[in-house]
Amino acid sequence: MSILKRRILSFKYAFQGIRWAFATQPNLWIHLAAAIAVIVLGFYVDITKTEWIILAGCICSVFTVEFINTALEWIVDSVYKEKHPLAGKIKDVAAGAVLIVAIGAAIIGVIIFYPYF
């Protein structure tokens, strides 16, 4: 298989993963709604280029951690077929990581948008 074909397939698989995650994870839709609201608000108040960069980083960070959390949950569910205390801890810690980055992004959003109001 050629290098180009392998690269094209890697993008196909990545987009397939994104579709699967959105099809199964309601929290991704909540993050997407928040991201859209932030983007609309950013255009409305005409934030600076630097503020756009910071918000884009926050949005990407939240989605990245949520996708990693989803992958970890799927791995844990495939390894531990029955309830197991360690499985719960792994999932809780991963969910905690999402919560931390989402709270951080929200704080940054407030810091950026507060002066406009």
CB distance 112 to 38 below 8 Å = no
Radius of gyration of the chain (CA): 18
17 CA to centre of own chain: 13
Q: Which of 51, 66, 73, 82 is catalytic?
A: 66
Start-to-end CA distance of the chain, whole Å, equals 56
Does residue 73 carry a catalytic annotation? no
Active centre residues (catalytic): 66
